[in-house]
Amino acid sequence: MLLMATSIRPAAPSLSFFSGRKTSFVSKAKPCSLSTANSTSPKAEPPLSHSSIPTNMNTDRRSGNYKPATWPFEYIESISNDYVGKNYTKRFNELKEEMRKKLKMMDDVDGEELEKLELIDNLQRLGLSYHFKDEIFQILRSIHQQQILQQQGRNIVSGEYSLLYATALKFKLLREYGFDISQDILNSFKIEDGNFKESHGKDLKGLLQLYEASFFATETENTLKSATIVTKLELKNYLENYEHNEENVTATLVHHALELPSHWMMLRLETRWYLNVYEKMPNANPLLLELAKLDFNIVQATHQEDLRDVSRWWKNTCLAEKLPFSRDRLVESFFWGVGTVFEPQQRHCRIMITKLIALVSTIDDIYDIYGTYHELQLFTDAVERWELRAMEQLPDYMKVMYLALFNTINEMAYEVLKEQDINVLPYLTKPWTELCKTYLQEARWFYNGHKPTLQEYMDNAWISISMPMILIHAFFSVTNPITKEELESISKYPDIIRWSATIIRLADDLGTSPYELKRGDVPKSIQCYINEKGVSEEEAREHIQFLIKETWEMLNRAQRENLLFSGTFVEVAKNIARTGQCMYLHGDGHGIQNADSENSISKILFEHITVPNPSL
């Protein structure tokens, strides 16, 4: 299966897929949706009955036919990087201070609001905003306060605010940084009968910015949801009719947004792409461009050091050697970590996510293609017991897997205990138990030839994607101090976890189901919908895309309503969803190693951007 298996969770809350909604891309049938009812209160599930599992199953092992690692241990060890030297760091710090002074000066004086917004947007897309969080927040807070005054009628609106482009950009950035801004700010550009006023239809920059802003909608914001539909049609029409020219930056921006909006894009991939585009813009700021290139290379050098360290850990586990039927995807796993937390100071969380995904990919392959049903029962029981004696009942090939898992998770719990005097081991082992039970249920579906309904599948599959387990571990890595309220909530899989995991599950199914069906896996969401509704594969895929957008709307709402978890953890949950969408955008980027994913990984982890040596 893609990254992880699709199976059943011991009683996930029902995802009664937006059952009250009318919108559907495929038919008049009630669309599959993701209800929030009781979403944080898992129900107890009766014990699994295995009486229907055939007892005379042969022990022929299936194969995933996985290729060897694209970037083996020796390659990772050989990596060198010139951007760890003092020369580049000195120049980078000088440029960073210049930019900080510029931002402070902007906040101190009443300058053009649009100029401020465009600089912040460029800092964000160029991957530099994490250096200037305080300065950006202060500028946006002033803009937000000014917006409130305008809405109260205490200020005259300048001509600038009549521009669709400026208003949409302001809305997008205020939403992005957590300010309470209503969709009503866009009322003056309201869509009538599905069309913009003629003047807005000709404003390509405005349409593009409104399209990007519309993806910050929650599920009840119909103005924004309508804006997505209308602007998408207008932008597609532009691409179909413009004169093709590689130097047309606007066309490049439109094409990129239509492939995946920036709100859904993995941050490092967005930065790497936008660096090339920004350099071609006639108004590009040379200081900003050099700063962004240096930062990318310096951060990449940090990532390469992290990769070397975690690669040595992976080699020492001997899992790739002892379990050759499984995916050896350490670099791909590290890419997930970089996509979730790229900042150099988040090294611990990045390496932890890498280890978790490398382990869970191997365990998934045991359940999905190699283990017999009886062996899988034994492994599930051992994980639930979480003690070394449980290993005695396992076949030899499972013992090395169990011990690697046991030692790694215990070590993670030990780190939290040392730092915060809290024993979090029960909170870490519980999601592993639930995950393995979902894998076991999927094996049961496979052996029984069971075809679940889409509802039945999705009630289970958002857990079997493994992201709830990974996000719980990430929570303990980025949260200090940990409160009692957070502990109580995190173990129940709050919405911020649930919707992130659901996005990845659906994106995974879109990207991996063709490969998995070829080897005889259980149906995924696409096939479940086809079987249930009798629609074509194309219609089913459109419906899954529709569900991804609706789930993002609920994730947006969960972020806006969040009062418990840190902003850092909320970003982790969003970023891992973004990484999943990019990983499966062009197929199975985790397991099958397609050209698109290999190119993306190389650009982010191994290919630096040429910058003149400041010492020359």
Across 293-320, average pLDDT: 97
Q: What is the pLDDT of residues 250-266, one digit of tens each?
A: 999 999 999 999 999 99
Does residue 356 belong to any structural domain of this protein? no
Does residue 277 belong to any structural domain of this protein? yes
In the prediction, which pLDDT does 117 show? Answer: 97
Count CA atoms closer than 13 A to 97's CA, side-chain side. Answer: 5
Does residue 268 belong to any structural domain of this protein? yes
Does residue 410 belong to any structural domain of this protein? no
Distance separating alpha carbons of residues 231 and 196, to the nearest angstrom: 9
Output 101 or 199, whichever has higher pLDDT: 101
Element (H, E) at 399: helix 396-420
157, with CB counted inside 10 A (0-12, 13-18, 19+), is exposed
Output 88 or 354, whichever has higher pLDDT: 354
Give 195's DSSP letter.
Answer: B
Q: What is the pLDDT of residues 510-526, one digit of tens each?
A: 988 666 666 667 789 99
- Cis amide prior to 481 (ω within 30 degrees): yes
Does residue 430 belong to any structural domain of this protein? no
pLDDT winner (highest mean) among 20-24, 468-472, 589-593 = 468-472
What is the CATH classification number for the domain harbouring 206? 1.50.10.130
Does residue 461 belong to any structural domain of this protein? yes
In the prediction, which pLDDT does 186 show? Answer: 87
Q: What is the pLDDT of residues 150-194, one digit of tens each?
A: 877 644 344 444 589 999 999 999 999 999 999 999 887 875 565
What is the CATH classification number for the domain harbouring 486? 1.10.600.10
* Domain extent for 561: 451-592
Contacts of 137 (CB under 8 A, 6+ apart): 177
Does residue 334 belong to any structural domain of this protein? no
Q: What is the pLDDT of residues 592-602, one digit of tens each?
A: 667 788 999 99
Mean pLDDT of all residues belonging to the chain: 86
Does residue 333 belong to any structural domain of this protein? no
Instruction: Name the band, by pLDDT with cuts 50, 70 and 90, for residue 568.
Output: very high
Does the pLDDT value for residue 483 go beyond 90? yes
Across 364-382, average pLDDT: 96
Q: What is the pLDDT of residues 569-587, one digit of tens each?
A: 999 999 999 999 999 988 7
Q: What is the pLDDT of residues 38-96, one digit of tens each?
A: 343 333 343 444 444 544 445 677 776 788 899 999 999 999 988 877 789 999 999 99
Query: Residues 454-457: contacts with CB within 8 Å, 24+ apart?
Result: 454/17, 454/32, 454/525, 454/528, 454/529, 454/532, 455/14, 455/15, 455/16, 455/17, 455/32, 456/528, 457/6, 457/523, 457/524, 457/525, 457/528
In the prediction, which pLDDT does 29 show? Answer: 36
Q: What is the pLDDT of residues 429-474, one digit of tens each?
A: 999 999 999 999 999 999 999 999 999 999 999 999 999 999 999 9
Does the pLDDT value for residue 21 go beyond 50? no
| pTM attached to this predicted model | 0.89
Instruction: Name the band, by pLDDT with cuts 50, 70 and 90, for residue 108.
Output: confident
* Percentage of residues of the chain with pLDDT beyond 90: 72
Q: Residue 195: beta bridge partners? A: 192
Output 593 or 301, whichever has higher pLDDT: 301
Domain boundary among 254, 284, 314: 284
Whats the size of the chain, residue-wise? 616
Domain boundary among 284, 314, 333: 284
Domain boundary among 257, 284, 311: 284
Does the pLDDT value for residue 195 go beyond 70? no
In the prediction, which pLDDT does 188 show? Answer: 78
Distance separating alpha carbons of residues 504 and 580, to the nearest angstrom: 5
Count of the separate structural domains present in the chain: 2
* Contact between 252 and 269 (Cβ < 8 Å): no
Instruction: Please state the separation of Cα 459 from the chain's center in Å.
Output: 20
Among 27-41, 266-280, 473-487, 506-520, the least confident range? 27-41
Instruction: Name the band, by pLDDT with cuts 50, 70 and 90, for residue 135.
Output: very high
* Contact between 428 and 494 (Cβ < 8 Å): no
Q: What is the pLDDT of residues 402-422, one digit of tens each?
A: 999 999 999 999 999 999 999
